[in-house]
Amino acid sequence: MAIVPFELRGKSVYVAGHRGMVGSALLRRLAREDVRLVTVDRHEVDLCNQAAVFDWFAKMRPQVVFLAAAKVGGIAANATLRAEFIYDNLAIAANVIHAAHQSGAEKLMFLGSSCIYPKLAAQPLREDSMLTGPLEPTNEPYAIAKIAGIKMAEAYRSQYGSDFISVMPTNLYGPGDNYHPEYSHVVAALIRRFHEAKVAGAKTVAVWGTGTPRREFLHADDMADACVHLMKTYSGAELINIGTGEDITIADFAGMVADIIGYRGEITFDTARPDGTPQKLLDVSRLERLGWRATISLEDGLKRAYEAFLAGAPVPAQ
Ligand SMILES: NC(=O)c1ccc[n+]([C@@H]2O[C@H](COP(=O)([O-])OP(=O)(O)OC[C@H]3O[C@@H](n4cnc5c(N)ncnc54)[C@H](OP(=O)(O)O)[C@@H]3O)[C@@H](O)[C@H]2O)c1
């Protein structure tokens, strides 16, 4: 995988989704680069609105685009808001990628997800396993929309020579995560649940499933650093996974979150709840060949995430 240097210095850089967990981490990371940051709030430009997106790009003409806006959520959100997940994510990808092409953007990074890989693909998940088998049904609408975005970036590269690249992050967590009681991802859900249990003095916390599945987690600040690194060094049609290359059982992970939060009660496992796939780990060898590795340990990252949770909108005890 050859390194293809791309100069960010002096460029106008648009971060789509700048108020989100990854988008805000990208703003923090890009503040260390000599770039002109461009953002626009959703109430001014809804990225699902084609005319608004095309007009805004025609006016602003960003030279570099990080496409980190998406309709995002955990398993419950994906399983129930199926129409919103496919419509919003298709519309955002189609509008932003086409507008970037029309307005002459020099480079664009599309953020996909590890959900695009087949449910039963071999572990660790290699980038070339995309479209080799059926998807996990619960998040199929989201995954199909993400695959469409990847294929758009690839098609614009092949037809127009656009330098559009796609990256596939693992499970992310960190400041600005979504702590919605039903629609959050596992890290935010556990932080919230253990925090509430500690405050309420609860004696037990039930974690969904058997605790045996293995998952990989990457801090949003590492994610942002990897994105900036790849923007500067990678050009190609192939996907690049972004993760740590290490996984942990949900049981061990829950124990780590409980320790960090200071929850001293018992952790039980609600085996009536689904486990999902037994392991989800990304093969990060392409990323490592391009010269990047995660630096934030899971323990430090969780401490930082919990501090941000406490500083942000602490959830009242129930
Ligand atoms: N979180 C994960 O574990 C994870 C894992 C793999 C991949 N990813 C991918 O990483 C990217 C960033 O995810 P995230 O976790 O940062 O999500 P997030 O915190 O939910 O942020 C998403 C951002 O997109 C914006 N957005 C959504 N719909 C929009 C619309 N119609 N118009 C304008 N803005 C819109 C949101 O704006 P508002 O703030 O105004 O709502 C928000 O700023 C996404 O592409 C996601 O698919 C995330």
Averaged over 221-246, what is the pLDDT?
98
Instruction: Give the Cβ contact number of residue 84 at 10 Å.
Output: 16
Q: Taking 60 as the threshold, does the pLDDT of residue 166 lie above it?
A: yes
Mean per-residue pLDDT of the chain? 95
Confidence tier at 317 by pLDDT (50, 70, 90):
very low
pLDDT digits 0-9 by tens, 68-120: 999 998 878 888 999 999 999 999 999 999 999 999 999 999 999 999 999 99
Which residue ranges make up the annotated binding site?
17-23, 111-114, 146, 169-172, 185, 193, 208, 215, 275
Domains of the chain as residue ranges with CATH: 12-175+217-245+280-296 (3.40.50.720)
Model pLDDT, residue 230 = 98
| H helix count then E strand count, the chain | 10, 13
Q: Taking 60 as the threshold, does the pLDDT of residue 19 lie above it?
A: yes
Averaged over 61-73, what is the pLDDT?
97
Measured CA angle at 166 (ends 161, 170), to 5 deg: 175
Q: 297 by DSSP, 3-state: which?
A: coil
Q: Please tell me the distance from the alpha carbon of residue 80 to that of residue 301, in angstroms, as a whole number.
A: 30
Q: What predicted TM-score, i.e. pTM, was given to this entire model?
A: 0.96
142, 179, 234, 263: which is the annotated catalytic residue? 142
15, 18, 22: which to mutate for ligand 1, most atoms within 8 A of CB? 22
Question: In this structure, what token pair is assigned to residue 312?
Answer: 């942000």
- Closest ligand 1 atom to residue 223 Cα is 10
142 is catalytic: yes
Model pLDDT, residue 94 = 98
Question: 49: Cβ below 6 Å to ligand 1?
Answer: no
Report how far ligand 1's centroid is from the alpha carbon of 265 (Å): 34
Q: Taking 60 as the threshold, does the pLDDT of residue 313 lie above it?
A: no
pLDDT digits 0-9 by tens, 184-193: 888 999 999 9
**DSSP tag of 236:** S
Model pLDDT, residue 314 = 41
Confidence tier at 316 by pLDDT (50, 70, 90):
very low
Q: Taking 80 as the threshold, does the pLDDT of residue 291 lie above it?
A: yes
Q: Taking 70 as the threshold, does the pLDDT of residue 315 lie above it?
A: no
